[in-house]
Chains A and B, each alone.
Chain A
C-alpha cells in the first residue's frame, strides 16, 4: 500500500493507505483525529470542514493522494496552535463567550468555516461582513444555532480586525 506523507496540525505523519481513500477517514479512523465530523460524506453538510493552507475544505471529499506533504492541514484540534499567541483561537474564544454550541456536532465545522470567512475578509482589508456573506455559509445545524453563529462571527471579526491572526499556511 502507498505511504501517504501528510502535515496535520503541524506534525508530519505517514499513513499506509490507498490514494483514493477520503482524507476524513484517514483523519478519523487512522490518525484518531475526530474533531472533523462525518455528517453526509457528500460535501453537503459541511460538518467535517477543516483548513488546508488556511482555506476551508471538506475532508470527506478529498482523496488523500491529492494532498502534497507540504500542505498544512489544520483541524479543530490544531486550530489554537496554528496561530500565534497562547490560549484558544479568537474565534473559539468568542464562540465560548456567546455560548454558540448546543449539541455541538456541527460546531467544529462551523468554527472552521467562520475562521475561513473572517480570514478572507481581513485579507481583503474588510472590517465588516454583509448579510449575504453570512448567508453563503452552508454548514447545516439541526439545533438551529444559526443566529448565534452570525453574532459570533461579527464579534470575532471585530476582535481580529484589531489584532489580525492568520492560520499557518494561509495565503499559500
Chain B
C-alpha cells in the first residue's frame, strides 16, 4: 500500500518502487539475476550505463551475511537516467539498536551503503548535482523505511520532528557515492531525481535481506510512536533544560 503525498518527487518514488519490486519478483520467478534481467530489457545506452555503473561500483552480487543484502533501483525522468544500489542491514541487533541521544526513536533497518549513478545530460555544477543526489537518497531511504504521518481520530499524531522520522544521522549510510555520467545531451532536472531509485533500491534490498517483499510503506510505519513531550492540543512553552540537552 502506497500512501501518496506532495513530498519531494511526488508520485515517482511510489510508482517506481512498485515497478522495481515487481521486476525483482519476476526475476525470482523466472530464475534470473535482477541486474541481468534489467540490463537485458532496458532499451537505451544511457539506462544501461547508469545501472552498470552502480553494479560495478557496488560489486553487485558480492557475498553478504544473512540478514543483510543488496538491492537495485532504476528510474528515468527529467530527460535523465538514474540508478541506485543499496546495501541494508536488517539483523535483529541492528533493527533494535538505540541511539543514546534519541532514546525515543525507533531506529529499524539501517542502510549501510548507498551508491547512485545519474545522467542528467549537460551537467552545470557537478558538486551541486552530487549534493542533490545525496539529499535525494536521504529522502528515498526515509520514504521506504521511516518517514510517515499517522492520522488518528482526525488529527496527526506527529506533533514535531520528535516523531516525524525523516532521515537522521542514525539512519545515514556509512558509505555514500554518487557518479555523474555526463552524456552531454539536453540538460534535464536534478532537484528531485535522487529519490525514486533510492527508495526502490532500499525496498528491494529489504526484500532480499528479509526474504519478504514489503507491501506497505514506510516499513517502520506500524511501530509505536514514542511518548510525546508535547501535551495534546496545546502550544507548549519551550522547555527549560536546554543547557543540559545534547
Contact of A43 among B99, B169, B239 (CB under 8 A): B239
Q: Distance (Å) between the CB of B246 and the closest chain A CB?
A: 6
A138: contacting residue among B135, B137, B168, CB under 8 A: B168
Q: Return the contact of B242 from the options A39, A61, A138, A144 (Cβ within 8 A).
A: A61
A102 contacts B131, C-beta separation under 8 Å: yes
B242 and A135 form a contact (CB under 8 A): no
Evaluate contact between A42 and B166: CB separation under 8 angstroms: no
Q: Is the CB of A136 within 8 A of B240?
A: no
Interface size of B in residues (CB-CB distance below 8 Å)? 37
Find out whether the CB atom of A43 lies under 8 angstroms from the CB atom of B245. yes
- Report whether B241 and A61 are in contact in the complex, using a CB–CB cutoff of 8 Å: yes
Q: Verify if A79 is at the interface (C-beta below 8 Å from B).
A: no
Q: Are A135 and B243 in contact (CB under 8 A)?
A: no
Give Cα distance in the complex from A132 to B139, angstroms: 21
| Chain B residues positioned under 8 Å from A52 (CB to CB) | 243
**Contact segment of B18-26, B172-180, B181-189, B213-221:** B172-180
Task: Tell whether B138 is near chain A: CB-to-CB under 8 Å.
Answer: yes
Size of the A side of the interface (Cβ < 8 Å), in residues, is 39
Contact B230–A43 (Cβ < 8 Å): no
Q: Does A143 contact B (CB under 8 A)?
A: yes
Partner of A142, one of B136, B166, B240, B246: B166
Is A161 interfacial (CB-CB < 8 Å)?
A: no
**CB pair B239 A61 closer than 8 Å:** yes
Q: Are B99 and A135 in contact (CB under 8 A)?
A: yes
Nearest Cβ on chain B to A34's Cβ, whole angstroms: 17
Residues of B within 8 A of A148 (CB): 131, 134
A135 to B170, CA, bound (A): 4
Contacts of A23 in B (CB 8 A): 242
Please, what's the 1-or-0 string for A143-161, where 1 marks a CB less than 8 Å from any CB in chain B?
Answer: 1111111100000000000
Closest to B141 in A: A144
Q: Is A59 an interface residue (CB 8 A)?
A: yes
- In the complex, what residues of A have CB within 8 A of residue B176's CB? 147
Q: Which of A57, A66, A138, A146 makes the CB contact (< 8 A) with B240?
A: A66
Bound: A63/B243 CA distance, A: 10
Report B119-142 CB contacts with A as 1/0, cut-off 8 Å.
000000001100100111111000
- Whether A88 sits at the interface, judged by CB under 8 Å, is no
* Contacting residues, chain B, for A102 (C-beta < 8 A): 131, 135
Whether B245 pairs with A140 at a CB distance below 8 angstroms is no
Binding site for A on B (CB under 8 A): 99-102, 127-128, 131, 134-139, 160-162, 166-170, 172-174, 176, 229-230, 236, 238-246
